[in-house]
Structure formats: structure tokens, C-alpha cells
Amino acid sequence: MGKPPADIVKKLVESFHKHGGINHLDQANLPSREAVVAITRNLLRLVFPGFYDDEIHSNQVVAFTTQLVETIRQELLRELYKSLVYRPADKSNLAGTAERITNEFLAELPAVRATLQTDVTAAYEGDPAAISNEEIILAYPGIEAIAVQRMAHLLYRQHVALIPRIMTEWAHNKTGIDIHPGAQIGSHFFIDHGTGVVVGETSVIGQRVKIYQGVTLGAKSFPKDAQGRVVKGIKRHPNIEDDVTIYAGATILGDVTIGRGSIIGGSVWLLDSVPPGTVVYHEGGQTKMKHAAKDRDKMVGHATGQ
């Protein structure tokens, strides 16, 4: 085949100059999406040893872990350096900063594993269809999405650009569950079924929270500055307190608080805070609330089941 016609090349190059916002020319290399995905896959192998590999014997654990940690460390160090060059907070020692963040990240993984154990337990205890922890780790998309988010959140807290979002968007593409790396999530978190779940950047989720498919924890509005640009970095997503259950298709928007022990019924549209122990549900085309424990138990009985 011959070369592309000169007029096509000419027009493409002209578009590079015209549409400058979607080019990345004459600048430092960006983190590689493929490399970050490979790191994420290896991280899942590390936090769930034996689930993403062939059989690993106990006498191989030290060698397996040593090799995998070193592989992740080298690859993450390289991609972190690119991220820091792209958006440096301190230009004086980027290599040293990349090494510090990498080492601190790896040092926090045992604590992440401990929290993931609570997530697996929550899934097993919260889903009558679950037959084992192995089934949950191998087959439940919620656990994989949560695991990736918890690790990406460590890098987000260090103000690492691009890499955390690449990690969670890979998990989103793979599982259908979109959890921003900035979301703060407590222990014993369970996403049942999961498809279509969206958790926004500034969401704060307490302990023992359970959500079903199609739930959105989103922003209600986007304030703009004097130049008409969307203001970034402000708190704009819900706060979900401990022991809350949110059923399928519910949408909760804005910096509101869902009080401890509340239940949000399926397909509810909620823009306001609710006190602890509240049951929110649809009846007769209206959103209603109840506070009595007997009503809460009744709703749980109707809404659960596999």
C-alpha cells in the first residue's frame, strides 16, 4: 500500500495546530495507560494472592511476594515520575518524591488487605446467594472495583495525577462500577450486583454500608467562578453514615447526609439530608419517609431476597 495522500496528512497536521487542547506534543511523556493497567493487575494479584495466579504453595509465598512487590515498585516508580513531571508540586526532587510515594504506597497495602477482608465478609454475610469467600473474590465485580478503588485512593491522597483515575476507570470498564478514587469509604462495604453504580469524588461512606445496582451518589450542582468556569475541588457529593442500605436505582445528589441506619428505597430521588434511622421510599408517586423501627424492618423484608 502507498503512503497516505499528502492532503490528508496536511489537514491532520493543521488540525494539530488548530485544536491544541487535545495534543500532547513537545512535552514530557504522560503515564502509560497500559503500564498503569498492568500495575493494577499485579496489585490485585498481591492483595488476593492465589486468586489471579495458578496455585501458589505456602513455601513459595516469600519468593512470590518479593518478586511481585519489586516488579510493582519498579513499574510504579517509573509511572509516578511521569505523573510528577506532568503536574509537579515540587520540582526540586521529582525522583526522590516518586520513590517516597511508591514506598509509602506499598507500605500501606497490608492495611488495605485488612480492610478488604471486611468487604469480603460483608459480601458473604449480606448476600444469601454467596457460598464462599472464594466465590466472592473470583466472581463478584463489586469486590474487584472496591479493591482497585481502595488502592487508587492511596495515590489520590498523595495528589498523584492521572494514575489513580486510570486505575478506577479500568475497573469501571471491567465491572460497570464507577467509584472515583477520591471517595472515602469505610470498612465492610458491599456493592451487590453492581452494574451502573456511580460514587462521586467527594462522597464519604461510613462502615457497613450496602448499596445495590444503579445507585448514584452524585453532585447536585456545579458552582461557577466569575469567568463561568466550573469550580473544582469543593465538597459536592453525599455523606453516607454507618449501617445505611441503598436499594437499586436510588439517586442521592449533593452534599447531603444520610443518617446512620437509614434505608433508601429503590428508585428514590433524594436531594435532602435525612436523620438517622429513616426509611425513604416511593408510594403513590411521592417520596415518603418513616422513622419507626417496625417500618424499617418491614421494608427490609420486602426489599431483600436473591
pLDDT tens digits along 67-87: 999 999 999 999 999 999 998
pLDDT of 304 strictly over 90: no
> Does residue 10 form part of some domain?
no
Answer whether residue 183 is part of any domain. no
Find out whether 142 and 190 touch, Cβ atoms under 8 Å: yes
Tell me, yes or no, whether 262 and 155 share the same domain: no
> Per-residue pLDDT for 40 more than 50?
yes
* Claim to verify: residue 274 and residue 240 sit in the same structural domain: yes
Residue 127 lies in a domain: yes
> Domain residues for 168?
25-177
pTM of this structure:
0.90
- Residue 92, domain CATH: 1.10.3130.10
* 167 and 209 belong to one structural domain: no
Res. 285 pLDDT band, cuts 50 70 90: confident
Q: Is residue 227 part of a domain?
A: yes
Consecutive H or E run containing 270: strand 269-270
Mean pLDDT, residues 282-301 taken together: 64
Structural domains in the chain (count): 2
Q: Please say whether the dihedral angle defined by the alpha carbons of residues 138, 130, 210 and 264, taken in this order, is positive or negative.
A: positive
DSSP for 2-27 reads -PPPHHHHHHHHHHHHH-GGG---SS
Q: Are residues 31 and 165 in the same domain?
A: yes
Q: Which residues contact 153 (CB under 8 A, 6 or more apart)?
A: 164, 181, 182, 183, 184, 185
Domain boundary, last residue among 149, 177, 205: 177
Which residues are CB-neighbours of 60 under 8 A, at least 6 positions away?
Answer: none
Mark whether 287 and 241 lie in a shared domain: yes
**pLDDT tens digits along 216-267:** 999 997 778 888 888 888 999 999 999 999 999 999 999 999 999 999 999 9
Burial of 280 (0-12, 13-18, 19+ CB in 10 A): buried
Same domain, 141 and 269: no
As a whole number, mean pLDDT of residues 118-133 equals 97
Q: Which of 177, 208, 227 is the last residue of a domain?
A: 177
Based on the domain organization, do 130 and 266 belong to the same domain?
no
Cα angle 167, 83, 67 (rounded to 5 degrees) comes to 60
Find out whether 197 and 240 touch, Cβ atoms under 8 Å. Answer: no
The enclosing domain of 208 has a CATH number of 2.160.10.10
211 shares a domain with 293:
yes
